Each structure stands twice: as C-alpha cells, then as structure tokens.
A and B are shown apart, each in its own frame.
Chain A
Amino acid sequence: MNDLAVWAASREPVMVAQPKDIKEVQRIVRWANERGEPLIPVSSGIHFYGATIPDNGGLIVDLSKMKGIEVDQRNRCINIEPGVRWGPLQMEANKYGLRVLNPLLPHAESSALTSILEREPPLVWKSEYGERIIALEVVLPNGDIFRTGSWAVKQSAFELGHVVPYGPGLNWHWLFQGAQGTLGIITKMRIRAYPIPSLQRLLFITSSNLEEIVEATYALGKMMVGYECFILNNLYLASILAASNENLGKIREKLPAWVLLICLSAMYWFPKEKISYEEEAIAERGIEAKLTLPELPEANKVLLPLLSRVWEKEPYWRFRWKGRNQPLPFITSLSMLQKHLDTLHEILLMRNYPFEDIGVYVQPLEYGRAAYCELGFHYDPSRDKEKSIVKELIFDACTRLAKEGAFFNRPYGPMANLIDASYKKLLRQVKSIFDPNNIMNPGKVV
C-alpha cells in the first residue's frame, strides 16, 4: 500500500477487499472476527503516517469504492462515504451553494472522511464554525452497525435535521476520531457545510522573523477576522507557488522567510462593507497586510482559488523539494513555535540535516488559541540513508518537542510512545470494550 511513513516497515498485505457498501463491510468484519484476522481500513490512495501498514498481516479493507455523497442543503450538512475525495466533494457541495472546510491542498487521492477523522485541520480558523463532524456511521468490530449523535434515531414521527453531534449517552463520535481505525470502520460521516462567501480578499503578512508573524496572528485572532488563515515558511510556499520543480529553489530564495496568509470573506449582505471595515481594523492595529507578495505578484491570483482545492498535479506539492517529505504534526501554542524551531535546529545540527530542508506549515486554530504545526522533513526517496536520518530525526524531535509542551494528538508511529501511561491504559480498556478480539488495525495507537 502507498503508505510513505519513514518509520513504517514495508509490509505487503495478505489480502485486500474492496467492499462497495456497508453490508459488505459488515460481512468482512464478521468473517475477520471468526478467524481472528486483522483488518486494516484504508480509504485514501496515499498515506503519510503508517496507520495503514499491516504490522500483523491481515486484510486491507479498501473503502475507496464507497464514494457516495448526499448533500442536505436545508440543514447544511453533507453525508460522505470513505472513498470520497476532497475534489469531488467540494464540487458537489458548491452545486448547492455550500462548501466544506478542507485542509491545505490535500492530495487528490486523500479521503476527505479520513482526513477529517484523523484531525487534519481545516484552513478556516473561525471558532464559530465549530466541529466539522456531526455524526458517524460505524461498523463495529463485532460487525454491528452503530451511529452517533441524532443520526442514531432510526425512526421519527417528525422530519429530523440530524444536526446534533452528541450522544446517545456518550460522545461516541469523539472516540472514533484519531483512532486510526482501531475501534471500527467508519462507513459514512455526516459533516457540516457552510455558505460560500460572495467576496474574498486574500492578504499577505510577511516577515523574516517568525515572532513578528506570531504577534500578527494573535492580533488578528483578537479581532476575530478572516476565514482561511495559515502560515508557511518559504520552502512550503515555494513548493506551492513554483511553476516547475526546477524553479522552486529560485522562488524560495525570493520569498520572505515567513508568510501569514489570511483570507477575509463576506457572505451575501453588503460584502464590500464587511471586507472594508475588517481591512481598516487590521491597518489600525499596525499590521501591514499586502494584497499580494511584492516578490511574486501573481501569488494572490494563484493562491486564492487553491484555498478550496486539491493539489492536482504530480508530484504532490509536499514532495516537490526532494521527492519525499515526512510530515510531523503536533499542536502547540503560537508563542512556543520559535522555541520548538530552535530545538529542532539543535537536533538537525547534530545530524547535519539542513534546516532549509524543513517545510513549516502552521495552522492557527480557533483564532489562534492554539496552533497545529507541521514540520515537513524532506528527503530523497532513492537514498536510504536520507530516509534513515529523517527517521532518527523524527524520533528525536518528537521526544524533545513533547518535553517543551508540543502535543502529538495524532499519535502515529513514534508519537504513540509519548502518550501518558494513564491515558494509554484507558485507551487499552476502551479498545478491549470495542474490539475484544483485537482485529481492528492491531498495533496502532496502543
């Protein structure tokens, strides 16, 4: 399978099944239970974190054929199956005047369901938008179907909107998130959809100094402005903007070290007035926000449409620099970013890995109350040594950054070792409740 995690051993699946509907998924799961056969659910065509490696053998349950999308325009929700990719999803939503909150330029083969389930953050930082997941439909490890939230109501005398994420009883939908398929197979997800802005203005705030960018981010968060808002270092930005791989280095040199991009948006009513007062407020705070990058005037035109799109070209933008990239994602405070980078710098020095080969993507969450940080370790896949160094770096970085408060809430590979013992024990207990026969992606998370 196409799982590119540097820490993942290369394993071939024993079998692959491609169910086309939930009934087939149920049959597979019941079969696996009878035989004690591990099951590894997979939805995307590409993976970065090793969650889909069949460490104990077993059957890959490839859900990519389940591609249903149902748009509930009245209630602003969309039901998606695991095989749905971001591109078709966004297109379908747009037909109804809606949009979904996508992450930064996902791979065309990324499953939207998995991406959301595994907590890949959206570009939109509005805290008002809340949680994207409303409900889940799951095939439990015993083969039973389970639904969360008000989606669990099978019959009602009323037409229901199915918009309540919570319950029944507990917040089951939280348990399945970040689980890497260890508690069941998600066969459908109901997500929120949002209105499409009628006017957008993408602004750029640049600096050679990350701390200035962080202060600007905090200030913008205080004002509660903007929809898409994210920070890239010049390597990652060049990887997106460069017309060709060959050009990438030159583009990168032109660009400022750090760029904060924020997209002001307005809905139907008096959109220009809204954008105008927001821009004015930003200027009054002393934040210099430009309409494009002086170094690359076409940046705005290129980037604005990409905010809600997938990356369609090859190679994937994250791979353009050296062919491969191992992202290391964690949550932290914006104010800790520089410290983390300083620590990373120390680690890289010890192994002669150039800091310039690290891509940095910072996704401020909920107006900057926290930040999702992705450090992209680039390497040449044809050089085993580079891959091996990256693996060591990652192991080292995890441990040291965690000591500084970096929170690895997506515990892939070595990150799973950072889970506190008490939480881990409870995870095991929960696992034993759902999957007493330990057939669901065994060896992952706990």
Chain B
Amino acid sequence: MEKEDFIDEEKHETIKRYLEAILGPEYISDDPAILECYAKDSSPSGILFGKRPEFVVLPGSAEDVAAVVRICNRFKKPFITGALMYQSTCTPLRPGYILIDMKRMNKIIEINEKDMYAVVEPLVTFAELNAEAQKRGLFVQTPPAGMSSVLANHLFAGFTQLSWRFGISTRNILAFEWVLPTGEIVKTGSLNSGSWIWGEGPGPDLRGLIKGLFGVGSGLGIVTKMAVKLHRWPGPRDFTKCVKSSSPYVDNAWKGGWRMEFNPPPDKIRNYIIAYPSIEKLCEAIKKLGEAEICASVAHLPAWFMCCESAQSQQEFWDLWNSNYYQTLGDILGPGIPAYALFVTIAGFTSPKQLDYEEKVLTKIVEETGGKFVPKDSRIYYEMITCYFAGEIWRPAGAKNMRPRGSFVPTRFIFESVENAARIYRYLYKWTVEAASAHNLLYPSEGGLGDFGHFGLIASYDFGHMIHVAGFNMYYDQSDFEQVENVRKVMKKGLEDDIEKGIGVSYAPRIPEVHAVVGPMLYNYHILLLKVKKTLDPNNIANPPFPIEVNEPLGKSG
C-alpha cells in the first residue's frame, strides 16, 4: 500500500510544494516508511485507530511552525504535533493530518541561575535539562517517566515526585511563545517586556487557554519555546558522581537489565521507606507531614510498581510478584501481612542540619501514625531506594512498567484532598477488580491484571494540600487487539463511572467525546470551550477533535 486512498492526489502535491518551499524538501516527507513510524502510539486508541499522517514535517523555528500552520489553514489540513511522543496521544486518529515533529527544535535557549529558570524548545528532555541545571545547583522537577519533553510534559500533565514541595508542573510554567492555530505568534507573560521571568498576564492570564489539568493536545496552538521554573538542587553539582552503573553483560552473555545505583551524600539527601498497615494510616501520615511542612517528596508506591522497578526481566517480574515479597514489604509487619509503602525524601536545602531536624520530625510522625521504617540494609531499601527512587525523583529513570506484559496504561487519575484519599483509593481498587473481571482482563495463572490486587500510587502536592491517586494500570500486550479493546472498554467504563459518581470529572475532558456528557454537570464549561476553540481555530485545523469536537452538537445544552 503506497498511499492511503483517501488522499486527494492533486491537493497532496500542491501542499507538498508549499511545504517544501518553506522548509526545504529534506524536512518534509510523505514516504510511507517514514509515515508508518508515526502511525501508532501505545494508547489503546493509538493502537486500534492510529492512522498514518499524510505528511510529516520537521520545522526548525517558531516561524517555520507558524508558516506550516498557515498552510494548514489555507488548505484546511489538520495538523498534530509531537515531541518525544511518549505515552501520549500524538498519533492521528483520523486520516489526512500533517504531523509536525518538533525534533529539530531541541535547544536550551537559556539557563538563568539567579532567577532560576530555563528556556527550552520542545525537544529538550528532562535528563538533558537536568544535566545542565544540576551543574549550576538547580534542577527541573521530573516526572517518573522515561524520556519526556520538558515543554510538552509541562503542558500535558506534569506530575512529579517533588510536587510535594514544588507543585504540579502547571504552576511551574513561566512565559512562553505560542503559535496560534491561525499561525500568529503570541508572547505570554513577561515576554511582553522581552523577558522570560514571569508567567501570569498581562491582565487575564491566557496561558489558561492552553492548559487544564491535562493539556489540550495542540488543539489550541503550539508552544515553541517555554520558560520553566528551576528549583534549588540540594545535591552535588556532578550528579553522575553518585551513580554506580553495572554492565548489562556478565561474562559476555546478556543477563538482562541494567542496574544503576544512586547514593547521594547523606548530608544532602536522605531517603526512607515507611511501612503502614493500612492506606488510612498512610494518608494520615501524609497529612501530618504536610502540616509539619517538611520533606522534599512524599509518595505511596504500590507493590506492582516496586516489582516493575526491581525486576530485570519479564520473568523476574512474575517471580517477584508471585512471591508476595513487595506486597508485604518483606513481611515487615509480620508474616504475610500486607504493608503499604510510603516513600519519603528529605533534602538539606538550607543546610545539613535541616536533614537532622526533618528526620527527627519525620520519626515522631511515623511513631504517631503507626508506621515502621524499612531498614536501610534491607533488599527492599536497596532495590527501591538506591536503584530507583533516590535518583528517579531528581532525574527520570526510564519507566519499567512495560515489564509485566509489554505495555501499560494508567487508567485512573483522581485528584482530591488528602482527607478523602483513602476512601477514593479503596473505592477504586474494588472498582478495578470488578471491572477487570467483567472484561476478562484477569488471568489467574499470571496473577491477575489491573494492579494485581494491590493498589495504585498516591502522589502529593504543595505539602499535601492536594493528592492524586493514580495507576490502576492495565497491562496488556499491544499485539493482542482483543486485550487492547478490553482495556479500552475498562477505561471507558471508568470514565462513565467517574461521571456518574462525580469524582475526577473536572479534568476528565482530555477526551474530546466527553465534553457533551460532562459539560452540563460542570456549569456548561463545554459551551465556553467550544467558543474558545471556534474563535482561536476558525478552520478547525489544530489537531481536531482536541480539545473539543467542533462538528458535533453539544448534547442537551448545545
């Protein structure tokens, strides 16, 4: 198959000429082999419905991007953008898109040490920015994903382990340069005065148009440069000096895996795992730690996650899981008794004495809330702290959630207050088991799907003012379409349930189809959203149907 049969050949060639005229022929392609590489992502929708774009283009600047967007407007050709395209929906689900691959725009424009910000283009990754920032005593807080674009992740989701101190990535965005769906370039924030230093305003903060809890998938334009907040890095200037890396080959034979250890100096950073007998007690600890205003990171990681990180192969994952080792944290509360792990990091931002102080307070709170420290000489501590968590919160580690079955997708994100976290957690666990069974996604011989009878993770923000319960991952083999379809059904059911129960709905609308259903429950925001979309994108070419479908009625309110 050389060309999709929906393509209007003449229009295709005309557009191609225009694109070549702007970018040069070496930066545009309609070759099927190249297009195929953009035809699928790892989400159930991307797997089942992903389409090849009609063109892929590689712009080198905001002006290039703007010119491409103007061509899209002229020919009414929809576009979609992509940076690293990891775990996100950058695959066209409809035919005839121009995919704007931001790969050439990969510069760190500036790192300002005094005013603690960095200006990046779309293809700067977290690891790269941190490699440069940490040398200067700063860091950008990092999601626990593999390679991610700093710019795209700040716009898309931006949940990081250090959000406990430094907030969700949404509030770490400063000024940015933005190509509107019409091709005009807008400068937000202090760029109005030629500096990157501040994000709000002037006047109404229009950054709100391009961000909700999740982003709008370039449905309202493309950000081509962004300033992000950097924070004080408490560790040594050369991060790599604390890293020990093993060779994945032993005696010339591949043994699988690549073990790395991160041991920061204890007068700068300290890490703990605390075992709790219940999620309620764990949440109580989160609340108290927040009130005490200590720690750099506070998160609950469930057993499945620990197995993913610890295992060096798929087989080892299943061996570990079936041993119940992580479910009981090595029987720390007694043989066979489930234990819930709270991961805590403290850092000496002020001085080494801050560590001693915070450790003292932490110990008291752990005592009060009935927790138990996992010993630092235990296997769990070594595997989970030294080989994973200690480094992963400051630099990405490379997500290993593919271990169990090949692919995964987190199906639920519920943001709430810490007061309600445990209730939501328990409810979602029960829901997951029921929904997974109903859709034949439980395989008893492999220990089950969903989170395998264990729970999702809890991350926390702004000293515990807000938390999110996430995970309830569905693990699936992307090549098994029946499994993928079942995962999709579970996700859909989850969304329907969220809507019915009224939890998590205020940010559900990352999914365009949902607005008409959810909108009337939420003060008809969807009507405003539609107006925004129609005003900013009159030709509906900015990654339709994001953020909202323009061509369908608005349900009862429309």
Which residues of A are at the interface with B, using a C-beta cutoff of 8 A? 74-76, 119, 127-131, 144-147, 149-150, 152-164, 166-180, 182-183, 192, 195, 218, 222-225, 267-270, 273-274, 277-278, 280-281, 284, 331-335, 365-370, 402-403, 405-411, 415-416, 418-420, 422-423, 425-427, 429-430, 432-434, 445-446
Contact = CB atoms under 8 A, between A and B. Distances in A.
Contact of B193 (A162, A183, A273, A407): A407
Interface of B: 114-117, 137, 165-168, 170-171, 180, 184-195, 197-198, 200-213, 216, 229, 231-232, 291-294, 349-351, 353-354, 356-357, 360-361, 364-365, 415-420, 423-424, 427, 461-463, 465-466, 500-503, 505-509, 515, 518-519, 521-526, 528-529, 531-532, 535-536, 547-548
A169 B509 contact: yes
Contacts of B204: 174-179, 182-183, 427, 430, 445
Contact of B166 (A128, A172, A176): A128
Contact of A170 (B117, B137, B216, B424): B216
A75 B419 contact: yes
Contacts of B189: 407, 409
Contact of A159 (B117, B201, B202, B420): B420
A409 B357 CA distance: 39
Closest 4 CB pairs of A and B: A161-B417, A156-B502, A174-B208, A409-B201
Contacts of B526: 169
B350 A281 contact: yes
B169 to A, nearest CB: 11
B528 A145 contact: no
Contacts of B114: 218, 333-335
A270 B353 CA distance: 13
B16 to A, nearest CB: 30
B201 A164 contact: no
Given A144-B523, A224-B232, A333-B114, 18 more contacts: A130-B167, A155-B502, A156-B502, A157-B503, A158-B501, A168-B525, A177-B201, A177-B204, A269-B360, A270-B361, A335-B114, A368-B115, A368-B116, A405-B193, A422-B186, A426-B536, A427-B204, A433-B532
A265 to B, nearest CB: 9
A266 B191 CA distance: 37
B206 A175 contact: yes
Given A155-B521, A170-B211, A284-B351, A129 B197 contact: no
A172 B419 contact: no
Contacts of A411: 201-203
B209 A170 contact: yes
A167 to B, nearest CB: 4
Contacts of B167: 127-128, 130
B502 A269 contact: no
Main secondary structure of the interface of B (DSSP, over half): mixed
Given A161-B420, A168-B505, A370 B115 contact: yes
Contacts of B461: 130
A402 to B, nearest CB: 5
A430 B419 CA distance: 37
B420 A158 contact: yes
B357 A171 contact: no
A423 B535 contact: no
Contacts of B213: 164, 166-167
B502 A407 contact: no
